[in-house]
Amino acid sequence: MLPSPFAFERPSTIADAVSAVGESGDGMFYSGGTELLLAMKLRVIHTDRLIDIKGIPGLDRIVLNDANDIEIGARCTHNKIASDPVIREHVLALSSLCANVANVRVRSVGTIGGNLCFGEPHADPPTMLAALDARLVLNGPGGTRVVHADDFIRSELETVREPDELLTVIVFPRPTGPVTYRRFKHGERPSVNVAMAWSLAAGGRTIRSARVRVGALGSRPQPLKAIEDVIQGISVSEVRPAIEAVLPTALGELEVNEDRHGGADYKRHLAGVLLLRNAEEAIAAAGNA
Amino acid sequence: MSATDNMSSVRPDLIEKVTGRAEYVTDLTIPGMLHGFVVRSPAIHARIVTIDTSAARSMDGVLDVLIGEDVASFGCWGVVLKDRPILATDRVRYVGEPVAVVIAETIEIAQNAAELVDVEYDELPRATTIHEAIAEDAPLIHERHENLEDFYFKGGARPTQNSNIFHTYRNNVGDVDAAEAAAAYIHEDRFTFPAISHFAMEPHAVIADFQGDSLTVWAGAQTPTAVQKVLSRLYGLQLAKIRVIVPFVGGGFGGKASVKIEPLVAAASWKVQRPVRIAQSMAESMLTCRRLGADITIRTAVDAKGRILAKSAKLLLDGGAYSDTGSAVATKSANRIMGPYVVPNLRLEACAVYTNTVPGAAFRSIGGPQAVWAKESHMDNVAAAIGMDPAEFRLLNLVSRGERIRPDLRPLDMDMSDLMGRVTRSFASEVQASNRQARGLAVAATDPANTPISNAIIRLKIDGSILVSVSSIEVGQGAHATMGRIAAQTLKQPTSAVTVLRTDTAVAPYDWGTGASRSTVVVGLSVESAALDAADQILEMVADVWELPRENLSLVEGGVSTGSEVLTFHQIFHRALGVDSGEVIGRGAITPRSKKGALVESPLFWETSAGLAEIVVDEDTGEIHVPRYASAADVGRVINRIAAEGQDEGAAIMGLGHALYEVLEFEDGQPINATPIDYSIPRISDVPPVLDTILVENGDGPGPGGAKGMGEGAILPVAPAIANALFSTYGIRITDLPMTPEKVWRALQKRN
Ligand SMILES: Cc1cc2nc3c(=O)[nH]c(=O)nc-3n(C[C@H](O)[C@H](O)[C@H](O)COP(=O)(O)OP(=O)(O)OC[C@H]3O[C@@H](n4cnc5c(N)ncnc54)[C@H](O)[C@@H]3O)c2cc1C
């Protein structure tokens, strides 16, 4: 099928892009188009105007800034993140996440910003970015605001972004401990995924704090508070029994949709499997550090 | 040799395809061509109350909107049962059924206008599964059944009036009851098999140009002569006035066999008297046809030594809303559930039933994957129940070469124990066996309906170039390259001298069609015989003009050797005809009476395969990995090794899709994953890293040089082989496909 007719603009500044979308929100930002064009062809999204953001310079930068934060431009493709030296050095798990998203065509044109803004629940980056405590920078007609990754996706296919706000950059603190990520998928998209980021105390044998997020089960990534709490402050060697002790309760608290990806009990179980596998990897990584 | 020459020597179409020059239906433009877009039923089973096309018609660029009423007077069509209207008229029987066609200047306009066609439906009671359809009080999906005997296949359907059963096939040998009474052990199992999409990369696309009493159709059709025949009957046109042109086809797998959307597109063109193109999306093609799902009960009785005494099977096939070739699929499923074992007493019953879902259709080895899934899983269950090794149990019961699987079928023409040995040795040759030996085996012997009817024309030109004209379709399998090779080899000319024409029924002689693993054998024989006829004529010419004894003459590259010299084709034609031009036309015809009646008995050859799978299961997630798979088939003789291996590898991976990923799901009749986004097929990363394809050649097939047909066998053993590995090592028996991680995990939970 073909999309219904639309106008096309290619602004070269953020401000022009924002104003081109228009207050009425009848225009839409167009990045890699891998979600958008598909939805337009299926006629589930209708828009009069596409605002191509590929002409705006600077939106595809990846840097470690002076504040020791990593900045990823919203226009970075999955491929770019996968092969970027800064990401590979500091968050290898994000690099391999992006190297395995979707298929080769989607990875070469699909962007991290497009992935986040689409708000698809069966996605990989949102889980990881929430575990990394990322902040998303939105530029709108009234200026700039910052939203935490945890708060960005509101519900299935819906984010807190206003139609005329452009996501420009994703910022997160350089990780100081092991970051691990696992997904389970049978088919195109992840059925469940788990990201875990530890920050280690000096000496590297004790966990100062941990962030654990489970994705794809509900409409957005969910924290596993009970797990975060139980491993905070304990020695790396005690992690596994500590997690196992609270795991059933922690998993029980997750909101889980029954869908084509499987029954709720199965997916909950998978989340536990992935979490424990992440923990094993993190324990090994901490041991090698 | 350059890379491109190298590719061309394998298959001349490869370069055309990788450079994008190869033409498919959607690459063609016919002067004056309009575009049609199909409005489809969102209802599962409903009466059409009204269709309002006025808004669509008033849109700029819309020429007309075709509805059922316009063409109701042409009546229904079918290839076995005459059950199908050109366009739904009073009633729709499945979600996706065509209800109207908007015909417009552009595809965009047609599609936009289609959203304005307003159809009011009044829901009818429905039967969306086999069991709903055969229930006592099931609503009838078709009120009457009209059989077309010998129309497409030999024979026809045996419908049960006033029921949804549109075909029943029975075959009984010996006395099953008596044998069971004497048996040491009886074991019964039930298996189910889902609907599966053909998922060809090229969806159905057809251009039709109706002009007065003649009709030209460009279609990606596997059986152009069947399309021609159905259109002729339906529209009352002479066969000679209907031309079906088939350019390259982007995959068929049976989904483009018999007749699909051609009558509909022809109707659209008839309505506007201009050429009309309908190019479906993949999602639309997923609503056009699919493999028949099945519910199979199978029972085996054995004696104390493990010899099979009797076997009975009841197969119920879900034929969807229109029968197409579902009756033949049912019959074949019964034939394919028997062997290759010695079964002295047999009781087979297969029924095809209508349901309110996408119509079932032929699909690579019709009825085969359903039957073999059940019978080979069952074999391991029986072996386990009597405490025998499954391979030994099979070896003990195999039919040997020359023995009959059933009295009415040709004796087995190969050694199944040899195939089993080959896949086993393939694994043994690997140095590093994985520590957990989870292996499963399955074998199959199927009887392709290869219909020995074909014609070929070969024209040998004065410059030594050769034109081959057949109705075989190049659907990606390499049939045309094979025909070219057979012509070249028979005429002793280089393959580069041969051109095989794309099929055009106005030029190509009659052939039954491309399917049932028949082309290399049946069409191949007709090409060989046409080549011999052409050779005969040119040799005769030399004998006559040069006054030489025929027996001294032979074809050589570029001409004819007289023994003492070589006369070029130029010299021959020039001297014989007096001018420097000309050609000879060789004709080859294969009928059931050819080869002194050797082609009469069915099947022409047995299509056989053995598969051995090694699997590793992640017991925490239920995910199955297949690190190794070996597939063996007896193909008689390999004509083009790369193409032949490609066929069997492709079939095995398609089988892997059936085994682990694929199911076209319906929820109360509503398709829920009929889009390429939601439907999963295996990817290259899912292909077993070690995939061994073994082709056994004994030169004993009925085709050219002893070839047998191939390309459908290797799909069969994959699913049961994997399931048998799961059973033997992990202690779980999965009885319905696909074996998804969740299903496996649940079975593992239950086992624990
Ligand atoms: C076949 C397939 C498989 C996939 N599999 C996976 C998978 O396994 N895991 C996974 O995580 N994802 C998967 N995806 C999703 C993929 O990651 C996204 O399609 C891609 O990243 C979207 O980026 P894009 O640039 O193409 O977005 P677009 O399609 O251009 O845009 C998507 C949406 O975001 C908006 N938008 C885009 N950029 C911005 C911006 N900077 N600011 C504001 N709004 C913006 C657009 O208006 C639109 O609404 C898959 C997609 C496909 C098609």
| pLDDT (tens digit per residue) in B317-353 | 999 999 999 999 999 999 999 989 999 999 999 999 9
The residue among A118, A186, A256 with the most chain B CBs within 10 A of its CB, best to mutate, is A186
- Is the CB of residue A125 below 6 angstroms from any atom belonging to ligand 1? yes
Residues 6+ away with beta carbon under 8 Å from B578? none
Output the pLDDT for position B271.
Answer: 98
- Is the CB of residue A119 below 6 angstroms from any atom belonging to ligand 1? no
- Is the CB of residue A73 below 6 angstroms from any atom belonging to ligand 1? no
- B368-385 and B326-335 helices, crossing angle to 10°: 30
pLDDT per residue as tens digits for the range B587-609: 999 999 999 999 999 999 999 99
Whether residue B72 is found in the same domain as residue B210: yes
To the nearest whole percent, how much of chain A has pLDDT over 70?
99
Cβ–Cβ under 8 Å, residues A65 and A48? no
- Is the CB of residue A276 below 6 angstroms from any atom belonging to ligand 1? no
Q: Lowest-pLDDT range, A137-141, B5-9, B229-233, B305-309?
A: B5-9
Residues in a beta bridge with B511: B454
CATH number at residue A149: 3.30.465.10
pLDDT per residue as tens digits for the range B482-497: 999 999 999 999 999 9
Distance B152 CA to ligand 1 centre (A): 48
pLDDT per residue as tens digits for the range B365-414: 999 999 999 999 999 999 999 999 999 999 999 999 999 999 999 999 99
The pair of structure tokens assigned to A50 is: 């596409």
Q: What is the mean pLDDT of residues A264-269?
A: 97
Q: Flag if A260 and B672 touch (Cβ within 8 Å).
A: yes
d(CA A126, CA A156): 13
Output the pLDDT for position B4.
Answer: 80
Q: Strand locations in B662-727, DSSP E?
A: 666-667, 670-671, 690-697
DSSP B321: S
The residue among A1, A43, A118, A251 with the most chain B CBs within 10 A of its CB, best to mutate, is A1
Among all chains, which residue has been given the structure tokens 């039957």? B371
Output the pLDDT for position A4.
Answer: 82
Whether residue A33 is found in the same domain as residue A76: no
Distance from CA of A262 to the nearest CA of B (A): 7
Q: What is the mean pLDDT of residues B527-554?
A: 97
Helix (H, G, I), strand (E, B) or coil at A206: strand
What would you report as the CA-atom Rg of chain A, rounded to the nearest whole angstrom? 19
Instruction: pLDDT band for B197, please (50, 70, 90 cuts).
Output: very high
ipTM comes to 0.95
pLDDT per residue as tens digits for the range B54-95: 999 999 999 999 999 999 999 999 999 999 999 999 999 999
Whether residue B613 is found in the same domain as residue B591: no
Residues of B within 8 A of A266 (CB-CB) are 742, 745-746
B676 touches chain A (CB under 8 A): no
- What's at A178, amino acid-wise? P
d(CA B32, CA B629): 52
Instruction: pLDDT band for B429, please (50, 70, 90 cuts).
Output: low
Whether residue B344 is found in the same domain as residue B475: no
Residue A185 lies in a domain: yes
Whether residue B431 is found in the same domain as residue B464: no
Residue B383 lies in a domain: yes
Instruction: pLDDT band for B674, please (50, 70, 90 cuts).
Output: very high
Sign of torsion over alpha carbons B444, B447, B448, B452: positive
CATH number at residue B43: 3.90.1170.50
Residue A2 lies in a domain: no
pLDDT per residue as tens digits for the range B495-512: 999 999 999 999 999 999
Examine the pLDDT at A42 and tell me if it is beyond 90: no
Q: What is the mean pLDDT of residues B11-18?
A: 91
Q: Which of these three, B529, B563, B597, is where a domain ends?
A: B597
Whether residue B543 is found in the same domain as residue B646: no
Residues 32-91, chain A: which have Cβ within 8 Å of B? 38, 42-43
d(CA B247, CA A14): 49
Output the pLDDT for position B430.
Answer: 58
d(CA A117, CA A279): 30
Residue A164 lies in a domain: yes
Whether residue B583 is found in the same domain as residue B645: no
Residue B138 lies in a domain: no
Sign of torsion over alpha carbons B204, B221, B609, B169: positive
Q: What is the mean pLDDT of residues B9-28?
A: 92
Question: Could you tell me the end-to-end alpha-carbon distance of chain B, in angstroms, rounded to an integer?
Answer: 60
Q: Which of these three, B228, B259, B286, is where a domain ends?
A: B286
Q: Strand locations in A174-251, DSSP E?
A: 179-185, 190-200, 207-215, 222-223
Examine the pLDDT at A25 and tell me if it is beyond 80: no
Residues 6+ away with beta carbon under 8 Å from B596? none
Output the pLDDT for position B450.
Answer: 83
The number of domains in chain B is 3
To the nearest whole percent, how much of chain B has pLDDT over 90?
96
Q: Which of these three, A127, A154, A173, is where a domain ends?
A: A173
Pairing between strand A153-155 and A158-159? antiparallel
DSSP B252: -
Q: What is the mean pLDDT of residues B442-447?
A: 97
Helix (H, G, I), strand (E, B) or coil at B81: strand
Whether residue B259 is found in the same domain as residue B357: no
Examine the pLDDT at B27 and tell me if it is beyond 90: yes
d(CA B306, CA B392): 10
Q: Strand locations in B319-432, DSSP E?
A: 345-353
Q: Flag if B742 and A262 touch (Cβ within 8 Å).
A: yes
Average pLDDT, chain A: 95
Q: Which of these three, A139, A156, A173, is where a domain ends?
A: A173
pLDDT per residue as tens digits for the range B618-660: 999 999 999 999 999 999 999 999 999 999 999 999 999 999 9
Average pLDDT, chain B: 96
Examine the pLDDT at B431 and tell me if it is beyond 60: no
Q: Flag if A186 and B672 touch (Cβ within 8 Å).
A: no
B687 burial via Cβ count (<10 Å: 0-12, 13-18, 19+): middle
Q: What is the mean pLDDT of residues A244-266?
A: 95
A227 burial via Cβ count (<10 Å: 0-12, 13-18, 19+): buried
The pair of structure tokens assigned to B10 is: 């394998």
Distance from CA of B680 to the nearest CA of A (A): 5
To the nearest whole percent, how much of chain B has pLDDT over 70?
99
Query: For the sheet containing B214-219, what is the strand order?
Result: B62-67, B98-104, B34-40, B276-279, B205-211, B214-219, B242-246, B503-504
Residue B606 lies in a domain: yes
Residue B164 lies in a domain: no
Instruction: pLDDT band for B432, please (50, 70, 90 cuts).
Output: low
Whether residue B370 is found in the same domain as residue B247: no
pLDDT per residue as tens digits for the range A120-164: 999 999 999 999 999 999 999 999 999 999 999 999 999 999 999
Whether residue A45 is found in the same domain as residue A71: no
For residue B673, give the nearest of A2, A5, A260 by CB distance: A260
Residues of B within 8 A of A4 (CB-CB) are 108, 112
d(CA A164, CA B618): 46
d(CA A261, CA A263): 7
d(CA B452, CA B592): 5
Whether residue B610 is found in the same domain as residue B579: no
Cβ–Cβ under 8 Å, residues B284 and B38? yes
Residue B709 lies in a domain: yes
pLDDT per residue as tens digits for the range B266-301: 999 999 999 999 999 999 999 999 999 999 999 999
Cβ–Cβ under 8 Å, residues B611 and B656? no
Whether residue A42 is found in the same domain as residue A68: no
Examine the pLDDT at B451 and tell me if it is beyond 70: yes
d(CA B680, CA B745): 19
- Is the CB of residue A189 below 6 angstroms from any atom belonging to ligand 1? yes
Residue A116 lies in a domain: yes
Q: Flag if B673 and A38 touch (Cβ within 8 Å).
A: no
d(CA A159, CA A113): 12
Helix (H, G, I), strand (E, B) or coil at B569: helix
Whether residue B658 is found in the same domain as residue B537: no
Q: Which of these three, A128, A155, A173, is where a domain ends?
A: A173
Q: Whose CA is nearest to atom 15 of ligand 1?
A: A115
Output the pLDDT for position A8.
Answer: 95
CA B147-B149-B155 angle, 5° bins: 115
Residues 679-698, chain B: which have Cβ within 8 Å of A? 680, 683
pLDDT per residue as tens digits for the range A179-220: 999 999 998 899 999 999 999 998 889 999 999 999 999 999
**Helix/strand/coil percent split, chain B, to 5:** 30, 25, 40
CATH number at residue A38: 3.30.43.10
Q: What is the mean pLDDT of residues A231-249?
A: 97
Q: Which domain holds residue A132?
A: 62-173
Whether residue A66 is found in the same domain as residue A111: yes
Output the pLDDT for position A24.
Answer: 72
DSSP B265: H
CATH number at residue B738: 3.30.365.10
The pair of structure tokens assigned to B278 is: 């309908």
pLDDT per residue as tens digits for the range B132-150: 999 999 999 999 999 999 9
Closest CA to B443 of B294, B630, B313: B630
Output the pLDDT for position B8.
Answer: 81
d(CA B710, CA B644): 8
Pairing between strand B84-85 and B185-193? unpaired
Whether residue B361 is found in the same domain as residue B397: yes
Residue B18 lies in a domain: no
Residues of A within 8 A of B107 (CB-CB) are 2
Q: Which domain holds residue B460?
A: 454-597
* pTM of the entire predicted model: 0.96
Whether residue B307 is found in the same domain as residue B242: no
Query: For the sheet containing B566-568, what is the strand order?
Result: B554-556, B559-561, B566-568
The number of domains in chain A is 3
Residue B330 lies in a domain: yes
Residue A1 lies in a domain: no
Q: Which of these three, B582, B597, B612, is where a domain ends?
A: B597
Residue A184 lies in a domain: yes
B322 touches chain A (CB under 8 A): no
Residue B184 lies in a domain: no
B22 burial via Cβ count (<10 Å: 0-12, 13-18, 19+): middle
Cβ–Cβ under 8 Å, residues B245 and B225? no
